[in-house]
Structure 1
Amino acid sequence: MTATWCLKTLLTFLFGSVISQSNINVQNLYTLLFTTNNYNKLIRPSRNQSVPLSVHVIFTLYGISGVDEIEQKLTATGWLEIEWTDELLSWTPESYGGLRYIYYPQGEVWKPDISLQNGFSKLEELGSKFISVFIDSNGLVNWRPFQVFESKCDIDSTYFPFDIQTCHLDFVAWSLSSKDVHITQGRKGIELSDDLQRHGEWKILFSTALNLAESHKTKVRFTIVIQRKPLYAIMNYIMPILLLSILDIFTFKIPVDTGERIGYVITVWLAYAVFLTIISDSLPNSSESIPIVSIYIMIQIFIGTVIVIISAIESGCAHLSDDESVYFLLRAIAAKNCRKPSVQSEQEISKCLDRDETCVTWKEAISALDKYLFWLFLTIFVLSTLVSLLIASLKYI
């Protein structure tokens, strides 16, 4: 019991002054610092003006708001934690009821004119008028301006939707030289907020902080590496293109004399056009870097156009009379794939071709040609798809 009483007495003796703080203590301290001492926010708060003031900057990222491929812009939300020592704002806590810290409006104290050097919008002061800075009895000032940062970022959409982007936020004291202020990254560098807001299209891979020195300025660079989430693009862009391409190739499985072939191939081609109209606003729009997926889509449209032309020519040839000569190449292809009752052996076929006789009909020749065209375009489709996906996913892997 005696030990407990002694501990309580000791705690009361040590921290009793804190409990005894009053509004009079705060008022007297404000009067001392900002009136009696003639504090001037225009003067750099160093007793030795020949020594640069050290300013530490920590960036806390709250979330990615958006990435604009056309404007090459990253929009991020977060706040800076800027610390420095103001030698003109220090006091003895015991003289003011144990008061160890105060808050004061950010516009009423000296602060470095730190701004986003590679900002996208107009140059503005960080924070808002209602934000207060934290000042402790040793003169340590902590300023935490919250802001939406729009920075320039070189967006490369070549590997869409498997692209990874690296964006920088460079903070520098705009009008103060390195002889006045020395900016460094804080001990923690860049941090991710505990309640980080997730973006539907992008996820943050990692982030770094780095001190940079220029000829007359110092700055700190915060780097954010983000990766696009590819699932949405795969399900809504790539898969429909793959399915339409497969349907286009199966045009050669439809008999040319049924009358449905031209309607089928035109319908598939129009489906391409309608689909591109729908997704045109969703694909990255930039002339600096053309996405591989856009090149792949154009290849498939070109193949579809060639199939439409071939189908139109074959439909016209299928209605020619059988007594008209079939081109030698078509006869040769058909002779290897067709057998008429009048032609029973390879020797007879060869003799027939040598005499330039009509060994097969137009429909038989076109049917035989379609077998080769089917496998030809299927091979082109598979190779172009594998190569495009491999190139697009190299950076992702």
Structure 2
Amino acid sequence: MPQPRPLVVLALLIAWTACSGLWPALAVSDRVSSFRNQLSNNSLERELITKLVDKYTQTGLLGRPVNTTGDLLEINFGLAIIQILDLDENKQLLRTNCWVRYTWLDRHLKWEGERGYERFQNITQVRLEPDSVWKPDIQLYNFADTRPEEKRTARVVVYWSGEVLWHPQSLFKSTCAVEIQYFPFDTQLCALEFGSWTYDMTQINLTWVGYEYEPNQYEPSPYIDFTNYIKSKEWITDGQEDFEIRPSLRRRQVRSKMRCTRVKFQDENGHEYSRTYQRLVYKIRIRRNPAFYLSILVLPCLLLSCLTWVIFWLPPESPAKMQLGMNIFVAFFILMLLLAKTTPSAVRNFPYIGYFYGLNMVLITLSTFLAAIVLNLYMRADSRGPMHPALRRGIVDGLGRLLLVRQAVPLQEPSSESKPDPAAPDERRRQQQPETVAAAQKLQQKSPMSNFDGAVAGVAGGQVERDVREIRQLFRVYVGRLKDRERRCQAAMEWRTLAIVLDRLFFTAYVICILVAIIICLPRPDTEITEIDSVGAPETDSCQHMSAAY
């Protein structure tokens, strides 16, 4: 086999080395050409921006970007909320972090198909400084901020068709009427009103920004955008779960309204004329998260209310009823001070939980007085006379059986034979009542003592008869004392039963009052929000009629 020649091998080696060095050179050449094209595009964009700004400074910066004075400029306005920073109930201020979106058509910034802009047709959009173009003077009407500027600096995006998009970030501080009637289960409805400060409806038509529910399919969205919303720990909104639904199909989120205000002016000649100004009122409904307040305000209140029941469960003769009532009163007073620090003072309606605290304090005060009355009736029952029959029939027998007290107390039915006069002594009362005397005579006739008296009278003389009479008199006194003691015990039992019935009656009244108060304090649907929405609907129609008239 012939050996390869050295010259051929050397030639092949040189050719391979040349080819391997050619590919990196070609790659570097491509990169250089791409960089040159990028520099060319950047220079064209810079040249286009310079040309647009120079032209705009001469033609469009000092007035509305329209061809004639009578042209109406349409501005689409949208509001996207990012975060609820704070709701100050005392000052009634709402602080929010929002993104504001403006879109309008500026004829002076159009370069599509324009003469002299043929070299820039490959550029579809540019970014300009906001001070170099005209912007609508849309302001927050219900602002409550001391800062001169609410919006952060953001460039304006200009498309080749003349459409302008401005999307600045803003920190708004607006007024919000706070209602804490159902605190801590309250719901607040706040509004952010935006409108032009100087242009009326003949110059600017303020409309809702479009919502793209399908590719290239838009519809007006009269709602706050919650797409990038950061959920708050204290407040829950309706829109945070409803933002992905098409605006025309949303039901939970509160619909914003369009309002128009007609303002009358007077010229130099005394003639009156009016102008109509348009506003977009964005509404946001927020509900408080009550978890924190349930643990420090509601739960202690319910526990103290249940602890008040123990005052009525204690025996009537226990003096701890008074001490426990005063301790619970002090605890409710401390809760009232804590509530005063938590809720605003300048409100139209005081919260129901405050009324509930006050009701508990009033009931505890009354229960302490009533406990003193019950204790007095129970402890001094032995020194009191018999109860009036009407009082016994009405309270002891009537309410006692209704409250399941009379069934547990063995009281004797009042007899018509023994009704002594409470103003006379015991012996005199028995002598003045013929029924008692007749009963004693019958007892004497049936007693074997009468036979004994007859026998002794027949056998012995007057001394024995006097002794027997004395014994008989002592026996009558003893029997009378037994009956009187029984009557006093019966009267004391009746008064003690009256004390127990009153204690049970006060307990029932307290439970009923607390249950009614809890039912009243329970949160209800937001009726005020419905009223606001119903009021806003005619205003929208009036704006439509006004815009049609213009």
Q: Same fold, TM exceeding 0.5?
A: yes
Post-superposition CA distance 1:307-364 (Å, at most 9, x none): 12222344455554722447758866567657999x862134x777785564116655
Q: What is the identity, as a one-letter code, of the residue corresponding to 2:228? A: D
**2:81 corresponds to 1:61:** yes
| Pick aligned residue for 2:255 from 208, 221, 236 | 208
Shift of 1:240: 2.0
Larger Rg: 2
Aligned equivalents of 2:51 and 2:86: distance in 1?
A: 47
1:393 equivalent in alignment to 2:541: no
| Matched-pair identity in % | 21
With over 3 angstroms needed to count, the CA separation of the structure-2 counterparts of 1:212 and 1:292, relative to structure 1, is same
* 1:194 is the counterpart of 2:227: yes
Question: SS at 1:192's partner residue?
Answer: coil
Q: Determine whether 1:378 maps to 2:511.
A: yes
Q: CA deviation at 1:55?
A: 0.8
Q: Offset of 1:109 from its aligned partner?
A: 1.3
8 A contact 1:75–1:148 mirrored in 2: yes
Equivalent residues in 2 for 1:1-397, closer than 5 Å: 21-35=40-54, 38-39=57-58, 40-92=60-112, 95-96=119-120, 98-122=122-146, 124-128=148-152, 130-188=153-211, 189=221, 190-205=223-238, 206-215=253-262, 216-316=276-376, 318-320=378-380, 322-325=382-385, 328=388, 333=395, 337=405, 345-348=412-415, 358=488, 359-360=491-492, 365-389=498-522, 392-395=523-526
**Residue 75 of structure 1 aligns to a residue in which SS?**
strand
8 Å CA contact retained: 2:77, 2:103: yes
SS in 2 for 1:223: strand
Residues 209, 260 of structure 1: CA spacing in aligned structure 2 closer, same or farther, 3 A cutoff?
closer
Q: Report the alpha carbon displacement of residue 278 of structure 1 after superposing the two structures with TM.
A: 2.4
* More contact order relative to length (CA 8 Å, sep ≥ 6): 1
How far is 1:47 from its partner? 2.1
- In the alignment, structure 2 segments of 5+ residues that lack a partner are 1-35, 212-220, 239-252, 263-275, 423-486, 528-550
Q: Does the 8 Å CA contact 2:191/2:284 hold for their aligned counterparts?
A: yes
- Count of aligned positions: 377
Which amino acid is 1:65 matched to?
L
Cα distance in 2 between the residues matched to 1:278 and 1:295:
14
Query: Partners in 2 of 1:48 and 1:380 — Cα distance?
Result: 72
Which residue number in structure 1 is paired with residue 271 of structure 2? none
Match of 2:466 in 1: none
The change in CA–CA distance for 1:393 and 1:76 in structure 2 (over 3 A counts) is: same
Residues 14-54 of structure 1: CA deviation (Å, up to 9, x unaligned):
xxx99675332122112211225644522222222320211
Aligned to 1:14: none
- Secondary structure in 2 matching 1:212: strand
Alignment-mate amino acid for residue 276 of structure 1: M
Matched to 1:111, the amino acid is K
Q: Which ranges of structure 1 fall in alignment gaps of 5 or more residues?
A: 1-16
- Secondary structure (helix, strand or coil) at the match of 1:208 reads coil
CA 1:351–1:199: 2 relative to 1, 3 Å: farther
Question: What's the Cα RMSD here?
Answer: 3.3
Question: In the alignment, residue 48 of structure 1 is paired with which amino acid?
Answer: T
* 1:46–1:86 CA contact under 8 A, matched in 2: yes
Contact 1:20-1:97 at 8 Å conserved across structures: no
Q: TM-score, normalised by structure 2?
A: 0.61
Greater percentage in helix = 2
1 CA distance for matches of 2:258 and 2:70?
22
CA contact (8 A) 1:164 1:227 kept: yes
Q: TM-score by structure 1 length?
A: 0.82
Task: For 2:337 and 2:284, locate their aligned partners in 1 and report how far apart those are by CA, in whole Å.
Answer: 33
Q: Deviations over 1:44-103 (max 9, x none)?
A: 222223202111101111122233333333322211100111111122475137222111
Distance 1:251 1:330, change over 3 A: farther
